Structure 1
Amino acid sequence: MAPTDALFSGGEIAYRSAVPVDTPHDYDYDFLSRRDLTVNDTQKVTLGVIAAYIVGIAILWNVPYIRWVLWPFKMLVIAFHEFSHAFACIITGGKVKSISLDPREGGVTHMLGGRNIITLPAGYLGSSLIGALLTFCGFNIVASKIASFAVGVCFLLTMWWGRRDWLTIGTILASVGLLVGCWFIAHAEALRFVILFIGIMSSLYSVWDICDDLILRKVNSSDASVFAKRYGGSSQCWGVIWSIISLLFMVAGILAGIAAFRQSAEEMRNDSGKFIPTRF
């Protein structure tokens, strides 16, 4: 917890000792409510960056030609999507044969066994959950450093499963290079905003890709269409449900970040300088 957090600081404890005995519960409730809901200046900047990311991604996603600017990040979140399929397959008793990424912004995971009722939606829901966790970590530099290790593990597993696919290997190596490079900029402050961008991109990818496949292009081989054929309902219905869940994950990640990380920008930089310090 931040050293300036009033709830545990010496000044606040002294102040609370002066509160009448018959009112401590009301005071605690009011204070914690303010702590959870009030957005400080650093968090306002972070929320502004998130809003800019959402608008920027929405524009770049849909404008011809310049949409290729997002291509490297699309391939990155597709890797998260395929990793989520593979991970769900493993934990439900299946075996992953291979993962490959398609330069036309697609991917495929070849699996044996596993429970399809879990592995099919896991691609979108898993990648959006990863996005929410990265968004949460993007509110703090040290948390972003820790998140980069977790992302690295995901990448290594994905690269192992996709070791015969050079696009997969190249995408992952470039992503790892980006993350490592950001560690050396201002005690990894740049890393925080990269993790935040990847988190927002991964959350929104599920929504927009489902819209592209099921509403605009009506692709017959999407995860939602296969799920609908096996378990009933329509692909559009399942796509909408998964999109709503993805958005809820993103909102939850943002709210959790606001509640958990109350430090100022200077405090974050100081803490980051003590946790695997790097500076360029």
Structure 2
Amino acid sequence: MAPVYEKTGVFTGQLVRSARAAVVAAGPEVARFATRDILSRRDLTVSSDSQKVTLGVIAAYVVVIAILWNVPYVRWSLWPFKMLVIAFHEFGHAITAVLTGGHVKSISLDPREGGVTHMVGGKSAITLPAGYLGSSFIGALLIFCGFNIVASKIASLVLAVCFLLTLWWGKRDWLTILTILLAIGLLVACWFIVHAEALRFVVLFIGVMSSLYSVWDICDDLILRKVNSSDASVFAQRYGGSSQCWGVIWSIISVLFMAAGIIAGIAAFPQSFAQQESDSKNFLPTR
């Protein structure tokens, strides 16, 4: 759902500064794991069993999610993750509003209509596409991190900061609060399963669903349901073109983000399962 612009609001600068600090703090560790193997392996050969399994899991996730998304009744099994991805979507609107000089009043999620971000100011040319493209970009990063256990641990820490920001903006909405708390609980639980090996597959699942959310949701909004208040519709009204055209463009960009995340993951993380588990034992060990 398109963000709602209002005339008054409260700036959450302290939380935003905390988010930036967390990303900066985690950045060197992510860079160390990524550049170490990129420099030593410049080809994109899928050589390790870990990479083959990861690619197979990604393909299976795409098929399973696509089926469950469209099958009546069964599609409700995706509801908790769909709410989480919608939270990413609204976070994209909110964070770009803040970064372009606006203020965020609130975020709320709706089990039928999706979500809405109430904001003040900001550059609508950026904030409107930032919902779909922001969730797709987050999804691509999660897919990239899902190729490695330690990277998945770091991704979960950065996600925690994003969740806290979303929780702050959605503090008056019970569904937003419940969704975020369940997501945090799931990530924490996965840290304690086989040195967080389960964490990377959860991170992968969320990443795939978030990467392709724009494709499926835009099809729902513009082809099946014709929702007039979609981001693409509002963007077309303000800047020209058709909602279908912008929806297709954003979907293509989302798929490209996902492909980039997969390619980067193959290039950066060739480690075997045993090596990943060994690295995980030395980075914030849980067992």
TM-score by length of 1: 0.88
1:80 is matched with 88
Correspondence 1:66 to 2:83: no
Correspondence 1:124 to 2:124: no
Alignment partner of 1:115 out of 109, 123, 126: 123
Give the superposition deviation at 1:39: 3.5
Distance 1:192 1:104 in 2: 30
1:13 is matched with none
Greater C-alpha radius of gyration: 1
Alignment partner of 1:163 out of 171, 175, 180: 171
Secondary structure (helix, strand or coil) at the match of 1:36 reads coil
Give the superposition deviation at 1:36: 2.5
Give the superposition deviation at 1:143: 0.1
Secondary structure (helix, strand or coil) at the match of 2:128 reads helix
Secondary structure (helix, strand or coil) at the match of 1:202 reads helix
Distance 1:146 1:140 in 2: 10
Give the superposition deviation at 1:86: 0.2
Q: Which runs of 5+ in 2 are unaligned?
A: 1-32
**Contact 1:39 / 1:258 at 8 angstroms: preserved in 2?**
no
Alignment partner of 2:208 out of 200, 208, 222: 200
Secondary structure (helix, strand or coil) at the match of 1:37 reads coil
The count of aligned residue pairs is 253
Secondary structure (helix, strand or coil) at the match of 2:274 reads helix
Name whichever of 39-48 and 91-100 sits farther off.
39-48
1:103 is matched with 111
- Structure with the bigger RCO (C-alpha within 8 Å, sep 6+) is 2
Secondary structure (helix, strand or coil) at the match of 1:52 reads helix
Distance 2:154 2:46 in 1: 26
1:274 is matched with 282
Correspondence 1:93 to 2:97: no
Give the superposition deviation at 1:40: 2.1
1:134 is matched with 142
**Contact 1:89 / 1:115 at 8 angstroms: preserved in 2?**
yes
Correspondence 1:226 to 2:234: yes
Give the superposition deviation at 1:118: 0.3
AA paired with 1:131?
G
1:239 is matched with 247
1:14 is matched with none
Secondary structure (helix, strand or coil) at the match of 2:129 reads helix
Secondary structure (helix, strand or coil) at the match of 1:97 reads strand
Alignment partner of 1:46 out of 47, 51, 54: 54
**Contact 1:41 / 1:264 at 8 angstroms: preserved in 2?**
yes
Distance 1:79 1:39 in 2: 36
Alignment partner of 1:257 out of 254, 261, 265: 265
Correspondence 1:37 to 2:45: yes
TM-score by length of 2: 0.86
Secondary structure (helix, strand or coil) at the match of 2:44 reads helix
What is the RMSD of the two structures over their aligned residues, measured on CA atoms?
A: 1.5
Secondary structure (helix, strand or coil) at the match of 1:212 reads helix
